[in-house]
Amino acid sequence: MHTGRDMKKTIVKGMNLAELEEWVLQLGEKKFRARQIYEGLYKHRYETWQEFTNLSLALREKLQEYASIPKIEVTRHLKSELDATQKFTFEVAEGKEVEAVWIPSADGERKTICISSQVGCTLACAFCATGKLDFQGNLKAWQILDQVIQVEKLVGESASNIVFMGMGEPMHNYFAVLKTAHLLHDEDTFTFAARKITISTAGDVKGIRRFVENREPFNFAISLNHPDANKRADVMDIDKKYPLQELLAAAKDFTKTLGRKVTFEYVMIPDVNMSQEDAAKLVKLANSLNCKINLIPLNTDFYGWERPTEEQIAAFRQAISKAKVPVMNRRSPGKDINGACGMLSLKGKPNTPRTNYAR
C-alpha cells in the first residue's frame, strides 16, 4: 500500500493548483502541466501515473520517479442494519487509523460523508468516544481529501454534502482542513458548493476568528451542548480555555461579519443539559444571534448517562420552541455500527472481524 512514507518522492495529492504549478516548474516542466495533473488527480481520480494518458510516456516516467499519489486503505467496512449508513475505517499511516461515515438521508436525496481531521483528538468532550483515544497527530490534506475519494469509490455514489465532524477538532488542524475544503469546493474538480460543506468546532475561538478574518465561504457549526456558562466545562473541556461568553462573542462576530447563520449542535443528555432552566437559557442564547439549532440525542453511555427517551426529546424541543430560530432534531444514523455522533472510536459491532480491502 502507498501511504506517503517514501520521503524521496513528492506527494502531489493534496496540492492545490498553485502548489502544483510551482512544483512542475521546479521539475523543469511547462506550467500548463500542473492543470493536467490537477484535473487527473481530482476530477478523474487517477491513482497511478500510467492512467494520465494525456501526458507523454516520458513525462509519466519522470513523474513516477519524482512524485507519488498516495492512498489510504480501508481496513473495515460496516453497514448499518437500521438504515443505509456505512462506516469505514482507514489506515492513514502505519499503525494510525481514522473513521469516515457515509450517511444518506431517508429519502435518498441528501448523501453526506462525515470525515475526520485528526487521528484521535486533542480534546476530551465528555460524551465523545473519540476524546477517549490518544491523540496521534493531525491528518495531512491528502489524507482528509482521500476519505471523500475512497468512500465515494467504495459506495459507488457521489456525495451531496461533506461535514468535517468526524474524529478530531478541525480548528486544531485548521490549514489542512481549510485547504481540503477549498479543493472540494473547486468547480473544476469536486464541485461541492460552499453551502454543502460544513466545518465544525467544539468551540475554538482562535479558529473561529481566523475563519471569519479569512471570510471563508463554508457552513460553520459549533458544538454548544450546554447554555450555562458555569456548567458547560463539565461537558466540553475546551470551555476551560475558551469560556462560553468568549465563544458567543466570536459566534456573533461570525454572523455579523459574514452575514450567515451559525449552527449550534446540542447533544441532549438527561439530567445534564435538558432541564427547563437549561431550555430557557438556550432560548435566550439562540435569540441573541443569527443561528439554528441541531438537537442530537446522546449516543454514548459514559458516566452512567443514558440516551433521552422520545418523550424527553419532545418535551425539550417543545421547551425551546419559543426560540425564534430553526430547531431540528437530528436522527442518529448508524448507531448500531457505532457510526452516530460521538461514537467514532475505531470500533464496530462486537466481535466484528477486520476486513482487508487492500488492493
- As annotated, the active-site residues are 99, 341
Backbone angles phi and psi of 105, in degrees to 5: -70, 165
Secondary structure (3-state) at 112:
strand
Q: Which pairing describes strands 161-164 and 137-138: parallel, antiparallel, or unpaired? A: unpaired
- Is residue 49 within 8 Å of 308, Cβ to Cβ? no
- Is residue 99 within 8 Å of 332, Cβ to Cβ? no
Cα→Cα distances 6→9, 69, 357, Å: 6, 11, 22
CA distance 278 to 62: 63
Contacts of 95 (CB under 8 A, 6+ apart): none
Exposure string (b/e) for 3-25, b if CB count within 10 Å is 16 or more? bbeeeebebbbbbbbeebbebbe
**DSSP string for 318-352:** HHTTTSSS-EEE---TTGGGT-STT--SS--STTP
Cα→Cα distances 7→61, 234, 299, Å: 18, 43, 41
